[in-house]
Amino acid sequence: MSRLKNFSRNLVTSYLQLGVNVVYSLVSIPLILHWLPKAEFGMWLLLVQLMGYLGMVDLGMTSAVARLLVDHKDDRANGNYGSLLKTAMLVSAVQGAVVLMIAMLGAPVLAALMKIPPEHQHVFILLLRMQGAITAFNFCYRPLNMMLYAHQRMDLQSYSDITSLAISLGLMVLLLMKGCGIFSFVYANAVTALWVPFYLFWNCRRLNFLPGTGEWGAVSRKLFHEVFNYGSKIFLFDLGCQLQFASQIIVVSRVLGLESAALWGVGTKMFNLVFALLTRPYGATLPGLMEMLARGEADRLKARFRNIVVLTASLGAFLAGSYILCNSLFVGCWTSGKIIWPPLNDLLLSVWLFLISMQTTHCTFASVSKQFGALSYIFLAEGGSFILLTLTVGRHGGIAGMIGCSIFCTLIFSYQYGIRRSCHFFKCTFKETAWDWVQPALSLALVYGALVLITWLGTTAVPPVWRLILHGLVAGTAGTLLLLRLGLPPEILLEVQSRMPRKAARWFCLAAGTRAKN
């Protein structure tokens, strides 16, 4: 019961955080485009992606320690739990110092590599150094996040992020109005970074997640090697993901210019939010899956994993169709026509999103089993191939060609390999895992895809704002009904229904076609 309570709490707060993120984007992007030139906004988006690569200095240690803490949190007396935390504190401090050094010394080199125009280079270097200092500081309190993750209290991290977003938005608007320009971003980030560690530490202490007297152990060379070996696999995995999912602005800015980078940043803003919607349920259930494996609950693990595979794939089909219906219209209305985003890009991104929805659960299960095998190298090869292809195709095919490269690389590398790994772990056939498990999602994709096509072609003469409203209504009503009726198996629907208030459950039964609970 406690495990399901944690899952529900983590999932609800993660969606709440995502909702706040949506509000932040809806409010901030028009303001930014009003106060800043597109080139400066593109420069900030480029810097954010570069900071993501700078964060790879972590070398997978954060994820490795958080995963290993799950194995030791039920038995603190032997000192391994405390020893892991001591090791994490030491390593995080060193990593923060490395990040700071790279940002300070490497900023001019990065400006040259990214072909930043001369008139923007000084500002870019200064911004990179300032944001690098903030990132270095954030590294130092990562062990607090590790403890919350291991104890399935990611909801507290979500509350921290929600508050930070609210403060950051208020500060950014104030600073833009005061004429701080592009520096408004980094000033707001600096202020919000200061209060977070105090909040996280207070909660870890309040919930007794910190080791007690005699439970701290010592920094162990053996544990460090275990963390490092596991972390190195996560690092390669994360590096491949970073190349595949977070390099587009870098490639676009280098090949097509800073204004095209701004176009990509705004045009795919909703894609990033939709992708977060897709991954939230699986992310919330990961600590529970880790706990099942640690306690030897094999049958429950397989049943829960299969359900989350179906749920994620069906969400992918629903979100992909809804994204095609709404995004290009939304971008045009949202930016008052300053950004024009072609529907072809949305179609390609939706195909990629649905493919990812059937791939991601299988690939990230390696963090549960701790058996990466060749997966890290597969992702690295996928990310490297994507970069090489886009540097060539991007000059001729533009943004659409770049998205096509993403689809091709995901299909060839991680999609099929991730499914084969799940087949091996759960002793299933490829057909069972790749086809039978996701039949509901495939049915939903077929029916909802036809509805999306009919809706799109049938509303071409409608003015953009009203067309967006109509498409949103179709996605919110017909799309949701199809998701409930076709995309989710009965056991998931009954589990959701059992956690709803009686009146809400009755309406849910009508929509989903399930039996009412007594």
Tens digit of each residue's pLDDT (9 = 90 or more) over 64-110:
888 888 877 877 777 788 888 888 888 888 888 988 999 899 889 88
Closest CA to 268 of 179, 191, 189, 331: 331
Taking residue 326's Cβ as centre, other Cβ atoms within 10 Å add up to 21
* SS3 of the chain: helix, strand, coil, percent, to 5: 85, 0, 15
| CA distance linking residue 362 with residue 439, whole number of Å | 16
Provide the token pair at 188.
């707001």
Per-residue 3-state assignment (H helix, E strand, C coil) for 433-473: HHHHCCHHHHHHHHHHHHHHHHHHHHCCCCCHHHHHHHHHH
**Could you read off the pLDDT of 137-194 as tens digits, one per residue?**
988 888 888 888 888 888 888 888 889 888 888 888 888 888 888 888 889 888 888 8
What is the reported pLDDT for 475?
94
| CA distance linking residue 49 with residue 34, whole number of Å | 23
| CA distance linking residue 497 with residue 366, whole number of Å | 30
Closest CA to 237 of 56, 445, 111, 396: 56
pLDDT under 70: residue ranges of the chain: 1-8, 394, 493-518
**Could you read off the pLDDT of 390-416 as tens digits, one per residue?**
888 767 778 888 899 999 999 999 999
Packed helices 343-364 and 375-410: angle between N→C axes, nearest 10 degrees: 160
- The label of the residue with tokens 């895992």 reads 433
| CA distance linking residue 340 with residue 27, whole number of Å | 19
Alpha helices in 207-247 (DSSP H): 221-245
Instruction: Report residue 263 CA to chain centroid gap.
Output: 21
What is the reported pLDDT for 477?
92
| CA distance linking residue 261 with residue 248, whole number of Å | 8
- The predicted model scores a pTM of 0.72
What is the reported pLDDT for 46?
81
Closest CA to 196 of 257, 145, 238: 145
Residue 333 exposed, middle or buried by CB count within 10 Å (0-12, 13-18, 19+): middle
Alpha-carbon separation of residue 308 from 16, 72, 285, 302 (angstroms): 20, 26, 8, 10
Taking residue 371's Cβ as centre, other Cβ atoms within 10 Å add up to 13
- Contact predicate 348/404, CB 8 Å: yes
